[in-house]
Amino acid sequence: MSERLKVEGLYKIFGEAPQKAVAMLEGGADKDRVLSELGMVVGLSDVSLSVPSGAIYMIMGLSGSGKSTLARCINRLNEPSAGRILLDGRDLVPLGEAELREVRRTRISMVFQHFALLPNKSVIANVEFGLKLRGVPAAERRRRAEEVLAVVGLARWAYHQPHELSGGMRQRVGLARALATDADVLIMDEAFSALDPLIRSEMQDELLRLQSTLQKTILFITHDFQEALKLGNRIAIMADGKVVREGAPEEIVLDPGSDYVASFTREVDRARLFDARMAMTAAEEVVEIGQLRLVPDARTADLIVVDAQMQVLGAIRAGDVERIRAGAAPEDLVSADVVSVSADTKLIDAARLYRSGRPLVVVDEGRRLVGRLTPERMLAEIAALSSQPHANSTGAPHA
Ligand SMILES: Nc1ncnc2c1ncn2[C@@H]1O[C@H](COP(=O)(O)OP(=O)(O)OP(=O)(O)O)[C@@H](O)[C@H]1O
Ligand SMILES: [Mg+2]
């Protein structure tokens, strides 16, 4: 993935003499000291991050840590005090009004937690509103609005009034409005936070579904770590205007690096985060007995039968191998009763598929054998994950 959006050494000070505060922060002062000595509020202090094209990049942190300020600086709703914001390598900070308007029209759009729908206008008029302000001709903006309403599943609601919609549906209108602009970068500031849990989870699924086809570059702000894990390819965690931890979700869970970060990761159910790959024994050795190609596993009493391409044909009990050597017909002894999962199946889901007596194998997209899962290994792995230093206090993954 190439880099779409890059933030370098970004500062935002709310106050009369921001440069004085920036200098003080560069000298090692923190947010509290700048406030007590200069009376200025630090929004962002030396924030750098890099968002690859097509990624969902999560920004997390407690209230007041600077998440919204960062979002607002990126499309210049807030004026940065220092630093650079590179969109495909072009710095947005020095842009004038006209260029900025162009960037907002074609490249970056925002979805907020509570965005106001115009109450007396239909859903579709609301979606079109931004396009109208930008002078897009009526027929074209109607066509575009119809298109994006279909994308978010609201085609049938186009000519209804906002008060007829549920909270989740209104939030979809917000998403539709952002998609209508054709911007390839979406900034979503707590876009789902006001929704009740069930609708919120549906919206998350919806976003992932849309993203798999639209491939936008999304900066998603949340203070819910489970949401960050579900949606994010990478996560940056902010405190007092700074990024204090950045990485892939699993890295952050396994190695939070500070109590502050650990406080977010503590509630995480690790068995949901890690996948089958982690607990499998890789299939390496193949033994040939007569016509059969068998993959043994020292931990189990059966062997997996594969063809020349390593595609799984079934399983055979170790004790029956001797009978085949002695001339018994393989068809009578090879059982097709094998359960297969992919390497990125979540451990918890793989564990649920396990049935006593049926081998659980890991296969690739071509149904070729890559490894083997045993219940003992899965349990051991889930237990080990749950008892990491920062795991939840009960040590047990929740259902
Ligand atoms: N317009 C403003 N004027 C003065 N200070 C501001 C302004 N906007 C934000 N701040 C300050 O900047 C800091 C970061 O605020 P910001 O809104 O970015 O936090 P946040 O992480 O989005 O919090 P939340 O989770 O509550 O939305 C806070 O200390 C806040 O008081
Ligand atoms: Mg905020």
Confidence category of residue 386, pLDDT binned at 50, 70, 90 = low
Residue 343: give its domain's CATH number.
Answer: 3.10.580.10
**Domain range for residue 216?**
50-269
Same structural domain, 246 and 202: yes
Reference 237, options 110, 57, 93, 59; nearest CA is 59
Candidates 13, 30, 41: which one to mutate for ligand 1, based on the most atoms within 8 Å of Cβ? Answer: 41
Mean pLDDT of 287-295: 88
Please report the DSSP string for 126-144 in residue order. HHHHHHHHTT--HHHHHHH
Q: Which range has the worst mean pLDDT, 206-210, 231-235, 390-394?
A: 390-394
- Two structure tokens written together for 184: 């390839």
Residue 1 belongs to some domain of the structure: no
Ion ligand 2: protein residues whose beta carbon lies under 5 Å: 67-68
Q: How far apart are the CA of 33 and the centre of ligand 2, in A? A: 22
Residue 235, H or E segment: strand 234-239
CA distance 376 to 15: 60
Residue 240 belongs to some domain of the structure: yes
Confidence category of residue 100, pLDDT binned at 50, 70, 90 = very high
pLDDT at position 395: 36
Q: How far apart are the CA of 278 and the centre of ligand 2, in A? A: 36
CA distance 47 to 49: 7
Reference 247, options 233, 259, 260, 258; nearest CA is 233
Which ligand 1 atom is at minimum distance from the Cα of 70? 18
- Two structure tokens written together for 3: 């880099």
Same structural domain, 251 and 132: yes
Same structural domain, 183 and 309: no
Q: How far apart are the CA of 241 and the centre of ligand 1, in A? A: 9
Confidence category of residue 387, pLDDT binned at 50, 70, 90 = low
Mean pLDDT of 84-89: 97
Ligand nearest to the CA of 41: 1
Residues with Cβ within 8 Å of residue 286, at least 6 apart in sequence? 293, 294, 295, 306, 310
Same structural domain, 210 and 105: yes
Residue 27 belongs to some domain of the structure: no
Is 75 near ligand 1, meaning CB less than 6 Å away? no
Backbone phi and psi for residue 197, each to the nearest 5 degrees, phi listed first = -50, -40
**Residue bearing the bigger pLDDT, 161 or 106:** 161
Confidence category of residue 220, pLDDT binned at 50, 70, 90 = very high
Same structural domain, 166 and 221: yes
Is 15 near ligand 1, meaning CB less than 6 Å away? no
Residues with Cβ within 8 Å of residue 288, at least 6 apart in sequence? 294
Same structural domain, 133 and 191: yes
Could you give the number of structural domains in the chain? 2
Is 67 near ligand 1, meaning CB less than 6 Å away? yes
The separation between CA 278 and the C-alpha centre of its own chain, rounded to angstroms, equals: 20
pLDDT in tens, 294-332: 998 877 888 999 999 999 999 999 889 888 888 888 888
Confidence category of residue 391, pLDDT binned at 50, 70, 90 = very low
CA distance 352 to 271: 11
Q: Which range has the worst mean pLDDT, 15-29, 84-98, 253-267, 281-295?
A: 253-267
Residue 205 belongs to some domain of the structure: yes
Q: How far apart are the CA of 111 and the centre of ligand 2, in A? A: 12
Q: Which range has the worst mean pLDDT, 81-90, 190-199, 207-216, 232-241?
A: 190-199
Same structural domain, 181 and 247: yes
Q: Is the pLDDT of residue 1 over 60?
A: no
Residue 170 belongs to some domain of the structure: yes
Same structural domain, 294 and 170: no
191-199: long-range pairs with CB below 8 Å, 24+ = 191/111, 191/112, 191/113, 191/220, 192/222, 192/227, 193/113, 193/222, 193/223, 193/224, 194/113, 194/114, 194/167, 195/167, 195/168, 195/171, 196/167, 199/166, 199/167, 199/168
Q: Is the pLDDT of residue 393 over 60?
A: no
Rounded to the nearest integer, the mean pLDDT of the chain is 88
Same structural domain, 150 and 297: no
Same structural domain, 282 and 165: no
pLDDT in tens, 33-67: 999 999 999 999 999 999 999 999 999 999 999 99
Residue 199 belongs to some domain of the structure: yes
CA distance 175 to 203: 10
